[in-house]
Structure 1
Amino acid sequence: MLNKQVAIVTGASRGIGKEIAQQLLEEEVKLTIVGSSDGIKETGQQLRDLGFQDVLAIQADISKESDVIRVVEETIAAYGKIDLLVNNAGIGFFKSTEEVTEEEWSRIFEVNVQGVFLCSKAVLPHMKKQKFGTIITISSDVARYTISNASAYVATKYAVQGFCGSLAQEVREHGIRVGTVNPGMVDTYFANSTQGIPEKEDWLKVTDIASAVVYMASAPKHMMIDEMILHPFAQDYPIA
């Protein structure tokens, strides 16, 4: 279903984004991966070493419009189109509201919200032109309920959920689908934690999230999957 499509995946240097990239490449997608550090180049080479040749790795700050425009222009130059955008880049931390600085508040909104807005906005003209496209944003289960000591992070995910819901209604007439994947606890590097430690043994794996993305992106053109919420059995959470 996805072969010959062209995709952009942000936040792809490691963790969930890197796994999404690999699973999309296994579906014969031509791919641009984006990361804020020079580690994205290493990830690109690692994927090429696995035998995937259609991998363009770009270092960029997705909170800056000029960087996002450059990513889209280089993708179009390399592949001629954009069919799929996966907004995966994001940051998070656990602090009480009193501990959060103005700089931290601004930065988390720049990456988690503004980045989703800028990337989505930049691909829309190309998707509208071809009357087809899919935009998938990795959000969080806390886009549906709140937790303590994470007010800044939770606020960004509520904003993302609202943005994606509104955008989905706005662009459906152009054949563009917009959806979110909202995971609970995932064994990754979130909030500067360590992946693979024993206490995360029963958490969701990055492969689970990537598989959900591939499933959503592979849905037939007549189907919209607005949202997928994923939890490990080990997680207790409020019932919405």
Structure 2
Amino acid sequence: METSKMAPQKQAALVVGASRGIGRQIAIDLAKINTQSSSPQNHLRRHPLHSPFPDPNSPSSTINTVAREITDSGGDATPIVVDTRDPSSIQRLVDETIRHYGRIDVLVYNSGAIWWASVEKTPMKRFQLMQHINPEGLYGCVQACLPHFEAQGWKGRIIVVSPPIYSRFFRGKTAYAMGKVGMSVLTKGLAMDFEREGKEGMAVTSIWPATAIESAATAQITARDPAEGKDLRKASIFSDAVLAMLRAETKVVNGLLDLDEDFLRRECGITDFGKYSVVEGARPRRIMPKVFPRLEVEEQEDEGRRVDSSKLRKGMAKL
């Protein structure tokens, strides 16, 4: 996990799962906004480089090394250890962030557990681990941050690393898909809450890679077969899309389930993605569909008889 201060708006971003890969790149790029700041701590917190930083996709890359990368570049970052399976640990994470920075403007949830196998070959403990870290961890972080967004006048952004919803995603990895799609459901449902309750300053967005991204997982594959690198992109494409989503109007991104490449092409006008290829000149194979099914139905606006269990429970308590 990484908490960083962004400038010139003096915003604070909480990146959960920032030790390596995509999360590390997002934390570093968010902190780069800080380089224009004249805030004293951006200069006082520099540290000399005693050794090269570790491979960003290796276990040697940690929240501490990432924080040092940021501070050595003049940014401001605070590494905070969190167990996203534990609600009390999540609450301490958010409390510590508020203690350091006084606010949270952006929450990025990149923490995740992965196991791609059939139901038959996915042990119960592995299934439970993925649910604890993926949808439950996200839910806990969102809930812990919402009171602070409220205190800030309901102004903030939430970025979730989860996919668009479509049936092919379930194939061969049902247990994993149950958690990841659940995260996308949270994005859709929370976005509806924001819209229905008039919280126009809030937006929650899901993002997923259109092609395979260089990571600790892909490093194992390319170690066996270096030729596989031609189908990989750098994590910077994902980070660039996240930053573009944060710059976009809330009405454009609230409830959006999108891909990094598609958002950059549609909203930023980018057509040449060659600079993101790990192997120069390669054209990585797209692993995601070009068109996704619509989730809205004809009766989308018909809520029927709305039930609020929290109000029902309060009413029962008075009886």
TM bracket, shorter-chain basis: 0.7 to 0.9
- Find the residue that maps to 1:27 and give its secondary structure: helix
Match of 1:81 among 80, 103, 126: 103
3-state secondary structure, aligned to 2:120: helix
Moved more, 148-157 or 37-46: 37-46
Code of the aligned partner of 2:64: K
Please provide the CA RMSD for this pair.
2.6
Of 215, 220, 227, 2:257 maps to 227
Residue 201 of structure 2 is aligned to residue 179 of structure 1:
no
For residues 7-18 of structure 1, the aligned pairs below 5 Å read 7-18=13-24
Letter in 2 for 1:64: D
Q: Provide structure 1 residue ranges, at least 5 long, that are not aligned to the other structure.
A: 31-36
Q: What CA distance in whole angstroms lies between the structure 2 residues aligned with 1:149 and 1:137?
A: 23
Secondary structure at 1:59 match in 2: coil
- In structure 2, relative to structure 1, the CA distance for the partners of 1:5 and 1:140 (3 Å cut) is same
Which of 151, 154, 159 in structure 2 is aligned with 1:136?
A: 159
Cα distance between partner residues in 2 of 1:224 and 1:198: 36
- 23, 27, 49: which is aligned to 1:21? 27
Please tell me the residue identity of whatever aligns with 1:59.
V
Superposed counterparts of 1:44-193, under 5 Å: 44-52=67-75, 54-131=76-153, 132-140=155-163, 143-147=165-169, 148-172=171-195, 173-174=198-199, 175-184=201-210, 185-190=212-217, 193=220
Q: TM-score, normalised by structure 2?
A: 0.66
Contact 1:7 / 1:83 at 8 angstroms: preserved in 2? yes
Secondary structure in 1 aligned to 2:286? coil
Greater length-normalized contact order (CA 8 Å, ≥ 6 residues apart): 1
1:227 partner amino acid = L
Specify every segment of 5 or more residues in structure 2 that has no aligned partner in the other structure, as ranges. 1-5, 38-59, 262-282, 293-319
- Residue 221 and residue 235 in structure 1: after superposition, are their counterparts in 2 closer, same or farther (change >3 A)? closer
Change over 3 Å in CA distance of 1:191–1:79 after alignment to 2 = same
How many residues get paired? 232
After TM superposition, the score normalised by the length of structure 1 is 0.86
Distance 1:236 1:86, change over 3 A: closer
Secondary structure, in 3 states, of the residue corresponding to 2:114?
coil
Matched residues in 1 for 2:235 and 2:288: separation?
20
How far apart are residue 63 of structure 1 and its match? 2.0
Partner SS, residue 111 of structure 2: coil
Q: Which has the larger radius of gyration?
A: 2
